[in-house]
Amino acid sequence: MSDATDLIARIRGCRLCADRFAATATAHAPRPVVWFSPRARVLIAGQAPGARVHESGRPFTDPSGDRLRGWLGLDPDTFYDRDRVAIVPMAFCFPGYDARGSDLPPPPVCARTWHAQVMRALPELRLTILVGGHSHRWHLGTRASVTETVRGWRDHAPRVFPLPHPSWRNTAWLKRNPWFEAELLPVLRQRVREVLQGEARNDRNDAPG
């Protein structure tokens, strides 16, 4: 078994948050949604699965995913090709809802336990897309607000792009910050294309002649 296969199996079997999740309003069991391969060149570092993803077992099978695929200019086949795009959230399981029906934050124990190990298992990365404040904090070590961090995207491009979460809750944010769609997204889409086309070129160069 390769190191990455072993790591994926260990994360899939993780039940560290069983008691925590049992105590939420949803009283659910852990179901880690693990979606990466060591060949991936693009990383989407997200927040945590929502209730729909907890059901489907595939990341971003919800309206947030539709919006994110639109932002990246990726069709579903490419987005879900683990050998090209790794999707690694700050927690692999749905954290549940609080008593008012709001999403709970990703349990910090997940990133503490797994995130650095997963990053070491992704040696081919050329582009990291940070989705939401939890991911900004871990990957950039920043304490700045999401707006400030995303506004400073040129400080991190072209290897890293910080984004807001694509949730419907951020629709008002998108209206207040039109520069995001007008300036950041065209550069990000171009970078995604370059990185994935570079992968295709490398594959051709590696093919036996």
Binding stretches for ligand SF4 (CB under 6 A): 11, 14-17, 30, 32, 91-93, 107, 109-110, 113
Whole-number minimum distance, CB 100 to ligand SF4, in Å? 21
Whole-number minimum distance, CB 106 to ligand SF4, in Å? 7
Q: Is 35 helix (H, G, I), strand (E, B) or coil?
A: strand
Pairing of strands 42-45, 85-87: parallel
Whole-number minimum distance, CB 11 to ligand SF4, in Å? 6
Give whichever of 11 and 127 is closer to ligand SF4, judged by the CB atom. Answer: 11
Whole-number minimum distance, CB 82 to ligand SF4, in Å? 17
Give whichever of 47 and 61 is closer to ligand SF4, judged by the CB atom. Answer: 47
Give whichever of 14 and 125 is closer to ligand SF4, judged by the CB atom. Answer: 14
Give whichever of 92 and 161 is closer to ligand SF4, judged by the CB atom. Answer: 92
Q: Which residues contact 29 (CB under 8 A, 6 or more apart)?
A: 15, 18, 21, 22
Q: Report how far apart, in Å, the C-alpha atoms of 25 and of each of 18, 28, 98, 104 are.
A: 14, 9, 6, 10
- Please list the residues that pair with 97 across neighbouring strands: 103
Residues 48, 106 contacting (CB under 8 angstroms): yes
